[in-house]
Copies of this chain bind each other. A is one copy, B any other.
Amino acid sequence: MKFDFTYYNPTKIIFGVDSLNHLEEELNRFGSNVLLAYGGGSIKRIGLYDKVVEILKQSHKNIIELAGIMPNPTYNKVLEGANLVRNHRIDLILAVGGGSVIDCAKAISACAYSPEKDPWNAYWIDYKPVSHQVVPIGTILTMVGTGSEMNGGSVITNEEEKLKKGRVFSANLYPSFSILNPEWTYSVPKYQMVSGIFDIMSHLMEQYFSGTDDNVSDYLIEGLLKNLIVNTKKALQNPQDYEARSNIMWNATLALNTLVGCGKEQDWEVHSIEHQLGAYTNCAHGMGLAAISIPYYKMIYPYGLDKFVRFAREVWNIDGEGKAKESIALEGIAALQEFIVSSGMTTTLRELGTTEEMLPLIAESTDLGGYYKSLTHADILKILKECY
């Protein structure tokens, strides 16, 4: 049992319907120049943009805007933001939106005053630590899934190199504060909502399907998965169910704030494959994960049979009485598949804009990994073909 770890997470989470009321108090801890980073128009549509600008003005901040941060944020956008940070001597990057906006903010913070000549290569290819002075980040979360509001993760797409790469920064790049109000997620379109939900689910499963031990984390993850399944059903029936949306929102944060991974081996291969799928198709991240997961788990379950049996029993309540381990495990994967289909998630890459020609390119460019089974590029191609 690998049970040695360091856990340090200094992000302050402010959660609830009135959480925005705490923004002013948080802003007081930082200097005057704020980079307001956001995506498309959704924060304007729900009236959040106006509220945030009002609070910034009340707090006597100079607002510099970085609008138009796209889903799968690009390295070029990062460089644009880093330029603004330097030119306006930014004291705080306030990211308002979902994971893409927050990931982009972290990347901007790391790159703005980086001593590296080529920050892309240094941070996303060579995973160098960031030890120079960075710009603090605050977030206001409106879309749920990535967990970026309470971790150091930053997934950036380099369009020129056709690479979508995630890296995890250390705690100096965790948001200083994150403000979460479940009501802001009400108007997220169903497609984006379920995509985010599968992202959460995949974070949990990718930390779960590894190891042969019996770790606190396994129990926590089972609890989070069960909570997520129950509340997804509720939220699909009534998108304005505050309790369900609260559960999903907080579940997402806990799924990837590094806590449930403590002392545990992990297998992030599904994410690795999806990142290259995303680099080629720009698809919704969670939908890509949903499509890849079923053939991936069908390929690896024989090598981690006991854990897949446990998954079936504990998460999906499958009665294993008198059945072979193999069938229990497969029933668990079938239950997962049924959840994917009934929630309106994607099961084929074709729906995500993938062409047959892309499959070998995606397979070849994916980082190899895997825990129960070490994958080859040929294995990845097989997985991609199976869900094509």
CA distance A227 to B219 in the complex (A): 7
Number of interface residues of A (CB under 8 A): 43
Chain B's closest residue to A230 (CB) is B214
Binary CB contact string for chain A from 1 to 33 against chain B (1 if under 8 A, 0 otherwise) = 101111111111111111100100000000000
Asked if A74 is at the interface (CB within 8 A of a chain B CB), the reply is no
Asked if A243 is at the interface (CB within 8 A of a chain B CB), the reply is yes
Binary CB contact string for chain A from 207 to 240 against chain B (1 if under 8 A, 0 otherwise) = 0000001111011101110110010000000000
Query: How many copies of this chain sit in the oligomeric assembly?
Result: 2
Are the CB atoms of B216 and A1 closer together than 8 Å?
no
Name the contact of A246 in the complex, choosing from B1, B226, B246, B251 (C-beta under 8 A): B1
Binary CB contact string for chain A from 177 to 215 against chain B (1 if under 8 A, 0 otherwise) = 000001000000000000000000000000000000111
Contacts of A251 in B (CB 8 A): 216
Known: A216-B254, A223-B223, A226-B219. A6 touches B14 (CB 8 A): yes
CA distance A89 to B263 in the complex (A): 37
Give the Cβ gap from A325 to chain B, nearest Cβ, in Å: 20
CA distance A219 to B229 in the complex (A): 12
Are the CB atoms of A1 and B227 closer together than 8 Å?
no
Known: A216-B227, A247-B216. A15 touches B263 (CB 8 A): yes
Contacts of A227 in B (CB 8 A): 214, 216, 218-219
Contacts of A218 in B (CB 8 A): 227
Name the contact of A263 in the complex, choosing from B213, B230, B250, B263 (C-beta under 8 A): B250
Asked if A259 is at the interface (CB within 8 A of a chain B CB), the reply is yes
Chain B's closest residue to A245 (CB) is B3
Known: A5-B13, A216-B224. 7 other contacts (CB 8 A): A5-B15, A6-B12, A6-B15, A10-B10, A13-B262, A15-B263, A214-B227
A residues near B (Cβ < 8 Å) are: 1, 3-19, 22, 182, 213-216, 218-220, 222-224, 226-227, 230, 242-243, 246-247, 250-251, 254, 259, 262-263
